[in-house]
Amino acid sequence: MRFYKIDLLTLLIGLFLFASCKSSNTIGLDVDPETAVSGELIDSVTIRTETLREDPTNTNGISRYPLGLLNDPVLGTTEASLAMSVNLPNAAYKIQLDAALDSAVLVLPYASEFYGDSTAIYSVDVHQLRDDLSTQTAFMSNKDWAFNTSSELVPNGIVGNFTGRIKPNTPVKYTKVIAGKPDSVVGVKALRIPLDKQFITAQILKIPVNALTNDAFFNARFKGLHVSVNKTRVTGRGAIAHFNMAGTAGAMLEVYFKQSNATTAGKIDTVAGEFPITPTTNPVAATIKHNYTGTPVETQLANPTVQYQTTYLQGTSGLRNKISFPHLANLVQSLGGKVIINKAELVVPIEAGSDVSPFDPASRMALYRYDIGGQRVHIPDVEVLLPDSRVVPSYIGRYNSTKKNYTFIVTRYMQELLDGKTVDYGTFLAPTVDYDLFGLPTSSSRSVIGSFGNTTNKVKLNIYYTKIK
């Protein structure tokens, strides 16, 4: 019995010592012990990062529409304006001949992102489009939309203006007219821009009856609206706000007027006409302009063969990075044989001091590649995770505010590259909100990241591998 206790004690001590030892191959991995990755680690694979302009993209029907002016001390200026069709409340809409306008308001509901200075003063101008937007077929992010700068009714062409602070999280209260019920005070999180009474009276209340027959006839007459920020009247750094134009969001042109009742003589009705702005019915487009003059971005774009200490990524169809692994093909030879990659992760740190408010790092990045046809596709590691809905899991590409980096699992991608099953026709990193691959202007944030040669904030490819003997 005595020796049995000694043997048991020896066994317990041995197990404790064994459990307390850590393999150098798993140090630094933030994983559960049950899923710990074993194998040798190599983290010296050369990575090249290059700042590129984002390609122009189609903007009709996107999830968030940008509007604003942002003055970034590192990346220069960004301007975002909107062009939109306006639809009838319903087919064969009727307005009495004696209708008299009370007021008209352009309502743009806020979406989830506001990037920039919330304390700045903004001046938002509304103009009438020169051409019927509903007849257009291309809505690229670099396309300018012509608008009227003068007319008999409005000499300066400005048919509406909002001046003040933009507060996307604060409901704006107003009195809503409800047919057959008492007026009600409601609050909406939206930018409400008062419109010129003479303009609305002439363009809606007094137009020929046949122009109210359907949306096509109405848009041929009304053309649509252009919304932009007056650059000379913005204080501070400015910002880019985003707006939701989905059908249920309530983007519209509200027109309040009084007219005689159609059936009861002498009775006057107060009418609230809601003219919806819905991309699924008629187009809404965004125009994005970036000016990098005098910035480090301008230097990098002009000298693409140079590897800089930092590179730049920017939303609103601004900048992306091309990620290259120039010596990856030599890895097998340098290791002396074929390997199985147990885990590979691309770690992308932001440059120290680049995250000073209001220029916070992008909340999410997308990592994608080109296929043989030059089309943007998911890397294999993302592709295998996609459910039938094709929605990328929300944790992929998220910014880690504690570690100040983005981490991507690229195990399958690196293994396929090493085995020759996949060719790197181009690998890219770009800011995103919904993990889209097409540079949509649905996010305005930016990130400054450290390159492979950066001594303090170095982009790294960690490969945990096992040799095949």
CATH of residue 431's domain is: 2.60.120
**pLDDT for position 32:** 44
Q: In what helix (H) or strand (E) does residue 258 lie, and over which residues does it extend?
A: strand 252-260
For residues 384 and 320, membership in a common domain is answered with yes
Is position 11 within any domain? no
- On the question of a cis peptide bond just before residue 431, with omega within 30 degrees of 0, the verdict is no
Same domain, 133 and 200: yes
Domains identified in the chain, total number: 2
- Domain range for 335 is 28-55+293-467
- Kindly state whether residues 286 and 434 are assigned to the same domain: no
Task: Please give the pLDDT value at position 25.
Answer: 37
Domain annotation covers residue 118? yes
- 270 and 302 in a single domain? The answer is no
Task: Report the distance separating Cα 467 and Cα 40, nearest Å.
Answer: 9
**What's the rounded Cα separation, in Å, for the pair 63 and 60?**
9
> Is position 275 within any domain?
yes
Examine residue 4 and state whether it is found in any structural domain, yes or no. Answer: no
Q: For residues 168 and 245, state if they share a domain.
A: yes
State whether 241 and 329 are in the same domain. no
Contacts of 97 (CB under 8 A, 6+ apart): none
Q: Give the C-alpha separation, 447 to 460, whole Å.
A: 17
- Report the C-alpha gap between 276 and 5 in whole angstroms: 83
Question: Considering the domain boundaries, does residue 1 fall inside one?
Answer: no
From 238, 270, 290, the end of a domain falls on 290
Q: Please, are residues 107 and 250 in contact by the beta-carbon 8 Å criterion?
A: yes
Beta strands in 17-97 (DSSP E): 40-42, 48-53, 65-72, 76-84
Does 440 map to a domain?
yes
Model pLDDT, residue 14? 44
Is position 323 within any domain? yes
- Give the pLDDT of residue 2: 41
- Token pair, residue 448, equals 């400054």
Report the distance separating Cα 350 and Cα 27, nearest Å. 23
Let me know: does 121 contact 163? Beta carbons within 8 Å: yes
What integer pLDDT is reported at residue 248 of this predicted model?
Answer: 77
Distance CA 369, CA 377 (A): 6
139 shares its domain with 236: yes
* Domain stop point among 232, 258, 290: 290
The reply to whether 169 and 270 lie within a common domain is yes
Per-residue pLDDT at 187: 84
Last residue of a domain, one of 290, 325, 340: 290
Q: Which pLDDT score is estimated for 38? A: 65
264 in the same domain as 353: no
Q: What is the reported pLDDT for 20?
A: 38
Do 284 and 298 lie in one domain? The reply is no
| Residues 251/243, Cβ–Cβ less than 8 Å | yes
Q: Do 121 and 107 share a structural domain?
A: yes
pLDDT of residue 387: 82
Residue 121: inside a domain: yes
pLDDT of residue 189: 93
pLDDT tens string, the chain, 469 residues long: the values are: 444 444 444 434 343 433 333 333 333 334 444 445 668 999 889 999 999 999 999 999 999 999 999 999 999 999 999 999 999 999 889 999 999 999 999 999 999 899 999 899 999 999 999 999 999 999 999 999 999 999 888 999 999 999 999 999 999 988 777 766 777 778 899 999 999 999 999 999 999 988 999 999 999 999 999 999 999 999 889 999 999 998 777 899 999 999 998 788 878 888 899 999 999 999 999 999 999 999 999 999 999 999 999 999 999 999 999 999 998 988 878 887 888 999 999 999 999 999 998 999 999 999 999 999 999 999 999 999 998 777 899 999 999 999 999 999 999 999 999 999 999 999 999 999 989 999 999 999 999 999 999 999 999 999 999 988 7
Q: What are phi and psi of 13, to 5 degrees?
A: -65, -40
Residues 268, 334, single domain; the answer is no
